Amino acid sequence: MKSARYLLLAAVLILILGTFGCGGKQAKAPIGAYTGSESTGTVTPTDYSQAAHWLAVPQSPSKQADVFYIYPTAYSRETSSDPDICAVDNSGMMKSAQEAYARQAMAFDPSANLYAPYYRQIDANYQLGLTTAQQKANVEGAPLVDVQAAFEYYLKNYNEGRPFVIVAHSQGSAVAKRLLAGYMKDNPDVYKRMIAAYIVGQSITPQYLAENPHLKYATGPSDTGVIVSWNTEAESIAATNPVLMPGGIAINPITWTTSEETATAEQNLGSILLNPFDGGRPVMEKNGQQRAFKNVADARVDKKRGVVICSTPNPEHYVFGFPEGVYHTFDYPFYFFNIRANGAERIQAYLAANPAK
C-alpha cells in the first residue's frame, strides 16, 4: 500500500511538471505593463478598491482570524519582448495565482478567512539572473508597493480588528520579508495582531533577524507573533538552490521545532496530490475536501544547509524549474495537512492569550 501511494503520487506529478509552478509559460502581458523603469519611490500602487484586483475576499467572514496570502511566482515571460514585471491583470499570472492559492492558502481555510490580492510580479528567470542587490531593488518596486497597498486596504476595509496570519511562498515570501521589516516595524499595533508569518520558500537568516529586532523566529508549534520558514530539499541536489541564502534558518513542518531530529513520513498528517487536469490544484474527495496522501514525505532540519531535508520521495519525480532534489514547488504540498493543523493551533493559542474584549 505504501509503495502504491508513492507510485500514484509520482505518476501524477510527472504529468504535471510542465503545467504549473514557478516559471511555466503564461499568456503575454498586456501593453503598458510595468517594465522596471520606475524607481521604487515613483511606482503608483494598484487600486485595491477594485474587486478585480483581489484573488480572494470572503463575502461573509465568519472566523475569528484572517489569512493574508501572497502567492509565489505566477508570471513568466512568453517572448523576449514581454515585460520583466507584468501588469496586475495579466491573465496568465492570474490563472497561475489561483492554482497556487488552491494548493497553498487553502490549507488555512478551515480556521481563517482568506484574503489574497493580485499584485505585479517579476519574471522568475529574469530575477534569478540578477545580483542580490538588484533582486532586492526589484522586489521593493512594484511587487512590494502593490502588496503593501493591498495590505493597508485590507486592514482598513476588511479586517475589522481581527488577528491575522501572513502566508506566502517564493516571490511572495520575498515581498513578505520586506513587509515585515518595514511596515510591521512602523506599525507595532498592527504587528501585535499578527499570529504568525509563514515565510516559506525564502531564507530567513540571523542577519535579517538582527537587522529587524522587532521580529522573532518560531521555536515551537504554538508560539505566536513569529516567523515560520523552511525550504525543502532532497538529501542531495543536482546544483545550487537559487532561493537559498547562507545561514538560513529552517523549522520542521511536521514537528514545528528547529531540532535536527527526523520526523518520519508516518508522522506526517498528509500530503496533497496535484491534479494535472485541473491546473495543479489538489486532488479532491467527493465531499469537496482535499484528499490526504499518507507516508509521502518525512522532514529533518539540516542546520548546516539551512533547509528541511525530505528523504522519502524519489527526486527524479519532483523536478520543476529547479535542480533535481530542490523541492521548492512542494514546500506546501508535501506538508499540507501539517500546515493546516499548525495554522489552527497557532490561531487558537493567540485567541486564548488575547480574549476578545
Q: 220-268 pLDDT, tens per residue?
A: 999 999 999 999 999 999 999 988 999 999 999 999 999 999 999 999 9
- Looking at residue 157, the DSSP 8-state letter turns out to be I
User: Rounded to an integer, what is the distance from CA 113 to the centroid of its chain?
Assistant: 17
As a whole number of angstroms, the distance between CA 196 and CA 42 comes to 31
pLDDT tens-digit series, residues 59-73: 999 999 999 999 999
Rounded average pLDDT over 303-316: 96
Q: How far is CA 172 from CA 15, 68, 233, 255, 317, in A?
A: 26, 11, 19, 24, 25
Taking the chain, what is the end-to-end CA distance rounded to the nearest angstrom? 51
Please state the rounded mean pLDDT for residues 67-90.
94
pLDDT at 8: 39
**What pLDDT is attached to residue 241?**
92
Instruction: Considering only residues 15 and 225, tell me which one the structure prediction assigns the higher pLDDT.
Output: 225
Phi and psi at residue 275, in whole multiples of 5°?
A: -85, 115
Stated pTM of the model: 0.89
Q: Is the pLDDT of residue 25 over 80?
A: no
Looking at residue 193, its amino acid is R
Buried-exposed string 231-267: b where 16+ CB fall within 10 A, e elsewhere = bbbbeebeeebebbeeebbbbbbbbbebeeebbebee
CB 120 within 8 A of CB 29: no
pLDDT at 276: 77
Maximum CA extent, the chain: 58
The mean pLDDT of 87-108, rounded to a whole number, is 96
